[in-house]
Amino acid sequence: RLSSTLQNGLNKQMTQEALAAQIYLSFGAWASGEGYGGIANFLFRHANEERNHMTKFLEYILERGGKADIEAIPKPPADPTSVQNCFEQVFQQEINNTTGIYKLVKMSFDEEDWATWNFLQWFVREQTEEETLALNLLDKIKVAGGEKATGEALYALDRDLEKEPDEA
């Protein structure tokens, strides 16, 4: 059975994933409003991924006989100020998420709860992928001129992101 500390931690992370989904949703709406349909599409698809992560936590807590607490989701931050700023915030958000996951990994290790430790390994891999993806996008934006990226360069990025393959 889950310890109350782990149950608490897993519940917190479940809300974090819901917050991540809200952030992607909110940034997607911003990108769409700015005319970046491809970027918006990418962010919306990612919002769904985060929601799936939330569900994974929910299912795991229930599977282990724990109590799932569905809490209020904090409000996402203000709209990004540019495409570069958008992906900087996305990257920072993923880093914060990784920190949360690593804390849980350590907790489960210390408690010798190997089922939870094993469950979390999927997220450890996922976070590495997501951070790499966000960093690669930031690199592309920088190559395109960063804050001074031309309309043409942003148009190309927007078109690329429309086709970015989906993950789990």
Report CA Rg, the chain.
17
Cα 39 to Cα 86, 133, 140, 156, distances in angstroms: 10, 13, 13, 11
For ligand OFO, which residue of 53, 58, 80, 144 counts as binding (CB under 6 A)? 53
CB distance 53 to 123 below 8 Å: yes
Is 97 one of the binding residues for ligand OFO (CB under 6 A)? yes
* Residue 17 to residue 143: CA distance in whole angstroms: 30
Is 94 one of the binding residues for ligand OFO (CB under 6 A)? yes
Known binding residue 46? Answer is no
Size of the site for ligand OFO (CB under 6 A): 10
CB of 67 to ligand OFO, least distance (A): 21
For ligand OFO, which residue of 26, 30, 50, 84 counts as binding (CB under 6 A)? 50
Name the segment binding ligand OFO (CB under 6 A); options: 69-77, 78-86, 112-120, 122-130: 122-130
Cα 38 to Cα 42, 108, 150, 159, distances in angstroms: 6, 39, 16, 6
- Give Cα 44 distance to the centre of its chain: 11
Q: In this structure, how many other beta carbons lie within 10 angstroms of the beta carbon of residue 37? A: 14
Q: Kindly tell me which of 113 and 130 has the beta carbon lying closer to ligand OFO.
A: 130
Is 42 one of the binding residues for ligand OFO (CB under 6 A)? no
CB of 152 to ligand OFO, least distance (A): 30
Q: In this structure, how many other beta carbons lie within 10 angstroms of the beta carbon of residue 150? A: 10
Number of residues in the chain:
168
Is 18 one of the binding residues for ligand OFO (CB under 6 A)? no
Known binding residue 111? Answer is no
Binding site for ligand OFO (CB under 6 A): 17, 20, 50, 53, 94, 97, 123, 126-127, 130
